[in-house]
């Protein structure tokens, strides 16, 4: 028996087995579960900047269960009131991907004012700057259009 070949085959077989086991465990989950694990059920918080000249920063929660149309959970708080130019961080505490995208949820037309992009479960968006023009800005989750909210800039 040639030991040179055995040294090559054993590590290759180990890698192959590990790949198969990982593939099986990944395929056993739905896509949102595979990409975004875990939940966290804390409440929304408002944080203001400490020094003058800094825009305030607000956190809006995407709560556990908000991916279910019948769950009744929505963005918290809603509406959220901010100062012009403030930042909002969206905190996804659901087990599904979400977005917070400005636009009309009835027509799914995005207006380009702000967009978190995809926020993974148990993750937060980057700080998203709000408009400097006072007004009401409707937003929704592009993956779950029934999940809507309003930002009031004043």
20 and 59 belong to one structural domain: no
- What are the backbone dihedrals phi and psi of residue 141, each rounded to the nearest 5 degrees, phi first? -90, 120
> For 84, how many CA atoms within 13 A lie in the half-sphere containing its CB?
5
Give the range of the structural domain holding residue 112, as residue numbers without chain letter.
46-153
Number of folded domains in the chain?
A: 2
86 and 114 belong to one structural domain: yes
21 and 71 belong to one structural domain: no
pLDDT at 69: 87
3-state secondary structure of 32: helix
pTM: 0.66
pLDDT at 41: 37
pLDDT at 8: 55
Residue 63 CA: distances (Å) to CA of 17, 36, 53, 59, 138 = 38, 14, 31, 12, 18
Q: Is 75 inside any structural domain?
A: yes
142 and 76 belong to one structural domain: yes
pLDDT at 31: 47
Q: Is 41 inside any structural domain?
A: no
143 and 70 belong to one structural domain: yes
pLDDT at 70: 85
Spacing of C-alpha 84 from chain mean position: 23
Residue 34 CA: distances (Å) to CA of 29, 37, 96, 126 = 6, 7, 9, 22
**CATH number, domain with residue 57:** 2.60.40.420
Q: Is 99 inside any structural domain?
A: yes
61 and 129 belong to one structural domain: yes
Q: Average pLDDT for consecutive 10-residue bins of the chain (154 residues)? A: 55 50 42 40 37 70 92 92 97 97 95 97 98 98 96 98
3-state secondary structure of 26: helix
The Cα 140–Cα 150 span in angstroms is 9
17 and 59 belong to one structural domain: no
pLDDT at 4: 57
Q: What is the DSSP secondary structure assignment for residue 98, as one 8-state letter?
A: B
């Amino acid at each position: 028996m040639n030991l040179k070949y055995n040294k090559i085959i054993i590590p290759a077989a180990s890698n192959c087995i590990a790949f198969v086991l990982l593939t099986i465990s990944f395929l056993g989950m739905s896509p949102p579960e595979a990409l975004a694990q875990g939940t966290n059920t804390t409440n929304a918080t408002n944080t203001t900047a400490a020094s003058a000249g800094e825009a305030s920063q607000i956190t809006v929660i995407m709560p556990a269960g908000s991916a279910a149309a019948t769950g009744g959970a929505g963005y918290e708080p809603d509406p959220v009131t901010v100062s012009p130019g403030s930042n909002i961080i969206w905190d996804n505490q659901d087990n599904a991907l979400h977005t917070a995208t400005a636009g009309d949820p009835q027509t799914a037309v995005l207006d380009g004012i702000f967009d978190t992009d995809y926020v993974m479960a148990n993750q937060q968006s980057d700080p998203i700057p709000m408009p400097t023009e006072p007004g009401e800005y409707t937003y929704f989750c592009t993956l779950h259009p029934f999940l809507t909210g309003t930002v009031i800039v004043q």
